[in-house]
């Protein structure tokens, strides 16, 4: 057991902490040519190049806004559908479950053009709402699955108990279900934000060049081959899911019956 | 006495299968009814219908004279204690007890404290469920059900997840707790001993109907039909019409040439209970197994059972 623990720490340091540290150092120094035996020469140029991009702040804002919107809709759809799938039994349930997974079985790009035409027709092309909706396609199936499992783990007796004690469904959601499904909410938060943030093609198609998100600013930098700037950008990029995660954690602290971190 | 809970002509059908068939009964205020029956007999379904977690196919449920059949579970003035304590793990013992009371707008701090006191867990008020034992958890579950001040409390095998010693202690404690406060309650169990211990009356439930509802003594002295006699285990059922109480079965011929019937049996196992040697005897001609004190006979030995004709009784028919 103790040996396993040590192995875990060694592997975690090697595979997670070390690469992050190197990334951070690289973003703060000139391109490191370690094979020449030279050390790191620290500088902040990469960040000034990054910040000099006129679209950086607006793209970051759009990415956060779209990410938050996608997360919120994912939570609403995921919780409602997940609960229904976990607690109800009805004819054709396996079929419904398969259909719900379909969006991640078919590449989004394959249907993006068709969806684009549809969005134009209903007036959602080139709008934030249109982008949010298209981002739901690769995220919602995961959220439903995660919440379905979370509800299944809670079990129906645990969901019936508050009802017996006189709780209505909404009160039950906030006092029992959400507090007990925090791990699922955290998973959905990270997964949704990261997937939404990484969408380049579908955002470009549906956003029509009007909605500029971070990947669109990021991709042109790939040509520079300047690893310092790339590292700085990666750090910037990774701050968004982290910031939204912290925000979600703060919101979770507001749930009733939360054990505050400083309470023993 | 005024009726606290009344069930009329209740039926429940799942697809083609009838789970409950025209079930009717009335409970008076403060009365405790035990419902006992084999697994799959429909007793848990009955309880879930009373709690409002399932809807009946037909029939009505009334609490204190008011029809609540169409009311949802959270609108009924009754509480259900499940097999598992089902405490909310993110709330302390006190918060758990207060949860329902708050919703029922009966959140009186003194009451919560006195309930904590009654279940002997005052010093555990701020502990989380994971920090207390299984028996303590079940007591908290009971206090939580009590805190809403329900008209009726339903228990669905509440002690079955506890070890036998703890179960015995908790049964008596709950029995006194309910009796002191005159709370109308229904206990569902598959254990006859528990049913007799807990209930003022015991109802034997099988195949969707009550086979007999009576006080434990009456139930034991005059079972209504072969099912009741077999389930209680204190009688030898001779056929669909006749039975004899086991204490009346003799291992030797009656002294005064009394008319009697004789059956041959074989001791299959021997166990020791309440300081007696109990033989588990198989009677081939009746295809029945019975358990009775057998003195110093041992396994595989044959024996003769002498049944005095005067002790053989007829079943008095279904009585509910």
Domain B236-314: CATH superfamily is Nucleic acid-binding proteins (2.40.50.140)
Six token digits for residue B167:
């179960």
Beta strands in B29-67 (DSSP E): 32-36, 58-63, 66-67
User: ∠ CA A114-A117-A120 to the nearest 5 degrees?
Assistant: 150
pLDDT for the residue numbered B155: 93
This model of the complex carries an ipTM of 0.81
Could you tell me how many residues make up chain B?
A: 320
How distant is the alpha carbon of residue A214 from its chain centre?
14
CATH class of the domain comprising B3-221: alpha beta
Radius of gyration of chain A (CA): 22
Residues of A in contact with B75 (CB under 8 A): 166
Please, what's the largest Cα pairwise distance for chain A?
A: 72
Identify the residue whose tokens are 């799942």: B14
Average confidence score pLDDT of chain A: 89
B86 — alpha (psi -120 to 50), left (phi > 0) or beta? left
Mean pLDDT of B153-169: 84
- Write a three-state SS string for B141-193: HHHHHHHCCCCEEEEECCCCCCCHHHHHHHHHHHHHHHHHCCCEEEEEECCHH
Beta-bridged to residue B60, according to DSSP, are B8
Q: Residue A166 and residue B84: Cβ atoms within 8 Å?
A: no
Q: Residue A166 and residue B82: Cβ atoms within 8 Å?
A: no
Six token digits for residue B65:
């004279």
How distant is the alpha carbon of residue A45 from its chain centre?
29
Distance from CA of A29 to the nearest CA of B (A): 47
Mean pLDDT of B283-312: 88
Three-class DSSP category at B227? helix
Q: Which helix (H) or strand (E) holds B20?
A: strand B17-28
Mean pLDDT of B234-242: 90
* Torsion angle defined by CA atoms of residues A150, A151, A155 and A157, in that order, rounded to the nearest 10 degrees: 140
pLDDT for the residue numbered B319: 47
Percent of chain B with pLDDT over 70: 98
Q: Residue A164 and residue B99: Cβ atoms within 8 Å?
A: no
**A166: nearest CA in chain B?**
B74
Residues of B in contact with A259 (CB under 8 A): 90
Which band of pLDDT confidence, cut at 50, 70 and 90, is reported for residue A1? Answer: low
pLDDT for the residue numbered A6: 92
Tens-digit pLDDT profile for residues A192-247: 999 999 898 889 988 888 888 988 888 877 777 788 888 888 899 888 889 889 99
Mean pLDDT of A9-27: 92
Which band of pLDDT confidence, cut at 50, 70 and 90, is reported for residue B317? Answer: confident
For chains A and B, CB pairs below 8 A equal 56
Six token digits for residue B128:
């989380």
Domain with CATH 3.40.50.300 in chain B: 3-221
Closest residue by Cα to residue A214 from A59, A54, A46: A59
Strand bridging mode B152-156 / B32-36 = unpaired
pLDDT for the residue numbered A159: 94
d(CA B204, CA B252): 34
Query: Using CB atoms, which residue from A164, A171, A180 is nearest to B51?
Result: A164
C-beta separation of B79 from B100 below 8 A: yes
Domain with CATH 2.40.50.140 in chain B: 236-314
Closest residue by Cα to residue B267 from B256, B278, B253, B258: B278
DSSP state of A254: T
Tens-digit pLDDT profile for residues A33-85: 777 777 777 888 888 888 888 888 999 999 999 999 999 999 999 999 999 99
Cβ burial of A193 (10 Å; 0-12, 13-18, 19+) is: buried
Tens-digit pLDDT profile for residues B116-156: 988 889 999 999 999 999 889 999 998 999 899 899 999 99
Average confidence score pLDDT of chain B: 89
Tens-digit pLDDT profile for residues A87-103: 998 999 999 999 999 88
Residues of A in contact with B149 (CB under 8 A): none
Residues of A in contact with B99 (CB under 8 A): 162, 165, 167, 175
Closest residue by Cα to residue B95 from A40, A217, A162: A162
d(CA B80, CA A82): 26
Distance from CA of B250 to the nearest CA of A (A): 50
C-beta separation of B94 from B112 below 8 A: yes
Q: Residue B88 and residue A163: Cβ atoms within 8 Å?
A: no
The pLDDT of residue A18 is above 80: yes
Distance from CA of A69 to the nearest CA of B (A): 29
Beta-bridged to residue B204, according to DSSP, are B36, B212
Tens-digit pLDDT profile for residues B194-222: 999 999 999 999 988 999 999 999 998 88
Higher-confidence residue of A177 and B174: namely A177
Tens-digit pLDDT profile for residues B54-71: 999 999 999 998 999 999
Domain A63-252: CATH superfamily is MetI-like (1.10.3720.10)
Which band of pLDDT confidence, cut at 50, 70 and 90, is reported for residue A263? Answer: low
Distance from CA of B104 to the nearest CA of A (A): 7
pLDDT for the residue numbered A40: 75
C-beta separation of A107 from A170 below 8 A: no
Q: Residue B74 and residue A164: Cβ atoms within 8 Å?
A: yes
d(CA B205, CA B218): 16
pLDDT for the residue numbered B320: 47
DSSP state of B71: S
Cβ burial of B171 (10 Å; 0-12, 13-18, 19+) is: buried
Q: Residue B100 and residue A259: Cβ atoms within 8 Å?
A: no
What does each C-alpha distance from B289 to B141, B283, B315 come to in angstroms? 39, 6, 19
What does each C-alpha distance from B64 to A80, A157, A175 come to in angstroms? 36, 27, 31
**B83: nearest CA in chain A?**
A157
Which band of pLDDT confidence, cut at 50, 70 and 90, is reported for residue A155? Answer: very high
Residues of A in contact with B107 (CB under 8 A): none
């Amino acid at each position: 057991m103790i040996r396993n623990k040590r192995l875990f720490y060694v592997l975690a340091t090697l595979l997670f902490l070390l690469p992050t540290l190197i990334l951070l150092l690289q973003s703060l120094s000139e391109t490191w040519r370690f094979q020449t035996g030279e050390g790191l020469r620290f500088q902040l140029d990469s960040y000034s190049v990054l910040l000099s991009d006129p679209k950086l702040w607006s793209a970051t804002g759009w990415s956060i806004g779209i990410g938050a919107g996608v997360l919120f809709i994912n939570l609403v759809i995921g919780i409602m559908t997940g609960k229904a799938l976990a607690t109800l039994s009805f004819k054709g349930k396996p079929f419904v479950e398969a259909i719900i997974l379909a969006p991640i079985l078919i590449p989004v790009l394959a249907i993006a053009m068709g969806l684009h035409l549809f969005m134009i027709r209903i007036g959602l092309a080139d709008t934030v709402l249109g982008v949010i909706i298209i981002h739901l396609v690769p995220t919602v199936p995961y959220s439903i699955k995660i919440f379905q499992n979370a509800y299944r783990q809670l079990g129906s007796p645990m969901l019936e108990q508050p009802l017996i004690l006189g709780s209505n469904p909404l009160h039950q959601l906030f006092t029992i279900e959400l507090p007990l499904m925090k791990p699922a909410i955290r998973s959905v938060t990270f997964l949704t934000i990261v997937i939404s943030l990484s969408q380049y093609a579908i955002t470009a198609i549906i956003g029509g060049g009007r909605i500029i998100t971070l990947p669109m600013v990021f991709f042109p930098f790939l040509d520079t081959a300047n690893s310092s700037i790339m590292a700085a950008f990666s750090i910037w990029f990774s701050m968004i899911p982290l910031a939204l995660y912290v925000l979600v954690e703060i919101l979770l602290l507001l749930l009733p019956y939360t054990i505050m971190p400083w309470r023993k | 006495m005024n009726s606290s809970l009344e069930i009329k002509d209740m039926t429940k059908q799942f697809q083609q299968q009838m789970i409950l068939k025209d079930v009717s009964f009335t409970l008076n205020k403060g009365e405790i009814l035990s419902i006992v029956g084999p697994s799959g007999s429909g007793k848990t379904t009955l309880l879930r219908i009373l709690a409002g977690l399932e809807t009946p196919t037909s029939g009505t449920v009334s609490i204190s004279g008011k029809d609540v059949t169409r009311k949802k579970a959270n609108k009924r003035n009754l509480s259900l204690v499940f097999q598992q304590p089902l405490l909310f793990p993110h709330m302390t013992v006190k918060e758990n007890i207060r949860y329902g009371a708050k919703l029922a707008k009966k959140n009186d701090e003194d009451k919560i404290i006195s309930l904590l006191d009654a279940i002997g867990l005052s010093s555990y008020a701020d502990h989380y469920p994971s920090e207390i034992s299984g028996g303590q958890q079940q007591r908290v579950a009971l206090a939580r059900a009590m805190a809403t001040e329900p008209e009726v409390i339903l228990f669905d095998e509440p002690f079955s997840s506890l070890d036998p010693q703890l179960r015995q202690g908790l049964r008596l404690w709950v029995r006194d707790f309910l009796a002191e406060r005159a709370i109308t309650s229904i206990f569902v169990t598959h254990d006859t001993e528990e049913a007799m211990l807990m209930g003022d009356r015991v109802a034997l439930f099988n195949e969707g109907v009550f086979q007999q509802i009576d006080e434990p003594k009456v139930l034991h002295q005059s079972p209504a039909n072969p099912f009741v006699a077999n389930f209680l285990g204190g009688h030898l059922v001779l056929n669909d019409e006749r039975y004899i109480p086991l204490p009346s079965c003799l291992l030797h011929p009656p002294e005064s040439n009394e008319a009697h019937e004789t059956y041959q049996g074989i001791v299959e196992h021997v166990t020791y209970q309440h300081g007696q040697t109990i033989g588990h005897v198989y009677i081939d001609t009746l295809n029945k197994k019975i358990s009775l004190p057998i003195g110093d006979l041992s396994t595989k030995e044959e024996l003769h059972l002498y049944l005095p004709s005067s002790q053989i009784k007829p079943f008095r028919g279904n009585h509910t």
